[in-house]
């Protein structure tokens, strides 16, 4: 009798293991979703600043040319572990200099590294998945123009069970949704559509300004899109950006993104200071598009 129960137990355990293995297979992009034409570094620079690449992957507090040395940044300390942004400079040994465009696209849009391992969603590929294939190629081309940094990436410190990378496949299966979030009003202008692309895609604004499901462990709660969220690090709350919460006009939002000054002459602070500094490098049309999108969101 005991042998029979043991046999059944092994059979069930084997079935669960097979199910887990099947559900967590890292999925790569179809070749048809990867650009075939070379990217344009000049266009890629715009995406670099929208995406805030330097804010995570350059040394903490880097300014000027040092922002372009992407040898790895300060840890993102969360309840799930300490995630260290890696070296993404074009160094062929320690950075991503040896990556192909397909490798880069799969990391950006599927959260899968060249070795076929899941990447943790502390890297916001869940938003970058909304980017156009040509923009991915442009960003890749721009990154290859930056100075290589011959320094190994510092290791992240992630405890059990979150250190089981294969388990990220279950998280993706449950929460990874690259479809557009907001439904813009009928007759949405081209400006609003550009703003939606910048905010929901490369800008990944929702990753901080939207609460997550399952006590912060799940995906973004789309019913609360950009309505504010607990800060990923430490205490406090990231403010909401919907018209009901952010009472500024579109012109005032655009001016804030350009100068860092609020309508009442206060100045940007905290982690938003780096975001604003990055967005200040865009042209006025992009900042106006972001503002137009935010003002078009449901209250």
pLDDT at 186: 58
pLDDT at 10: 55
Domain ranges of the chain: 28-175, 190-296
Provide the Cα torsion 66, 231, 226, 253; round to 10°: -50
Q: How distant, in Å, are the alpha carbons of 4, 83, 171 from that of 231?
A: 52, 15, 21
pLDDT of 13 reads: 55
Q: Are 46 and 282 in contact (CB under 8 A)?
A: yes
Asked if residue 178 lies in contact with residue 200, where contact means CB atoms within 8 angstroms, the answer is no
- Res 236: pLDDT: 81
Tokens of 225: 């899109």
165-199 pLDDT per residue, tens: 999 999 999 999 999 998 887 556 899 999 999 99
| pLDDT of amino acid 233 | 73
Mean pLDDT of the chain: 91
pLDDT of residue 80: 87
Residue 159 pLDDT exceeds 80: yes
Confidence of residue 22 (pLDDT cuts 50, 70, 90): low
Do residues 226 and 297 touch, judged by C-beta distance below 8 A? yes
Cα–Cα dist 294/282, whole Å: 17
Q: What pLDDT shows up at residue 261?
A: 96
170-181 burial, b for 16+ CB within 10 Å, e for fewer? Answer: ebbeebbeeeeb
What's the CA gap between 41 and 48, in Å, rounded? 10
Identify the pLDDT of residue 78.
87
Residue 271 binned pLDDT confidence (cut-offs 50, 70, 90):
confident
Give φ, ψ of 70 to 5 degrees.
-95, 60
Q: Specify the CATH number for 190-296; select among 1.10.10, 1.10.3470, 3.30.160, 1.10.760.
A: 1.10.760
Q: Of 112 and 235, which is predicted with more confidence?
A: 112
**pLDDT for position 215:** 76
214-261 pLDDT tens trace? 877 889 999 999 999 998 776 789 999 999 999 999 999 999 999 999
Residue 7 has pLDDT above 70, yes or no: no
Residue 185's pLDDT is 74
Q: How confident is the model at residue 15 (pLDDT cuts 50, 70, 90)?
A: low
Cβ proximity of 55 and 278 under 8 Å = yes
pTM of the model: 0.91
Query: Per-residue pLDDT averaged across 38-50, rounded?
Result: 97
Name the pLDDT band for 270 (thresholds 50, 70, 90).
confident
122-142: average pLDDT: 97
Which of 277, 274, 279 has the alpha carbon at shortest distance from 290? 279
* Bridge partners of residue 9, in order along the sequence: none
């Amino acid at each position: 009798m005991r042998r029979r129960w043991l046999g059944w137990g092994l059979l069930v355990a084997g079935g669960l293991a097979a199910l887990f293995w099947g559900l967590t297979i890292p999925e790569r992009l179809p070749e048809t979703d990867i650009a075939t034409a070379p990217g344009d570094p000049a266009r890629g620079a715009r995406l670099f600043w929208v995406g805030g690449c330097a804010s995570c992957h350059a040394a903490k507090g880097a300014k000027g040319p040092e922002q372009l040395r992407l040898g790895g940044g300060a840890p993102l300390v969360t309840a799930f572990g300490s995630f260290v942004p890696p070296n993404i400079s074009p160094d062929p040994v320690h950075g991503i200099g040896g990556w192909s465009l397909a490798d880069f696209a799969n990391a950006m849009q599927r959260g899968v590294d060249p070795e076929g391992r899941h990447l943790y969603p502390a890297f916001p590929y869940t938003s970058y998945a909304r980017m156009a294939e040509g923009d991915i190629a442009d960003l890749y081309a721009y990154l290859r123009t930056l100075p290589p940094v011959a320094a190994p990436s510092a290791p992240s410190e992630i405890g059990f069970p979150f250190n089981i990378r294969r388990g990220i496949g279950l998280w993706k299966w449950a929460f990874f949704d690259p479809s557009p979030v907001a439904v813009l009003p009928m007759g949405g202008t081209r400006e609003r559509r550009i703003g939606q692309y910048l905010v929901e895609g490369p800008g990944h604004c929702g990753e901080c300004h939207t609460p997550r499901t399952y006590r912060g462990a799940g995906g973004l709660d789309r019913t609360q899109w950009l309505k504010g969220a607990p800060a990923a690090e430490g205490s406090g709350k990231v403010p909401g950006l919907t018209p009901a919460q952010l009472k500024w006009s579109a012109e005032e939002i655009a001016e804030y993104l350009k100068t860092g000054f609020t309508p009442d002459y206060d100045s940007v602070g905290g982690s938003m200071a780096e975001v604003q500094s990055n967005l200040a490098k865009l042209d006025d049309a992009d900042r106006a598009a972001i503002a137009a999108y935010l003002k078009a969101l449901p209250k």
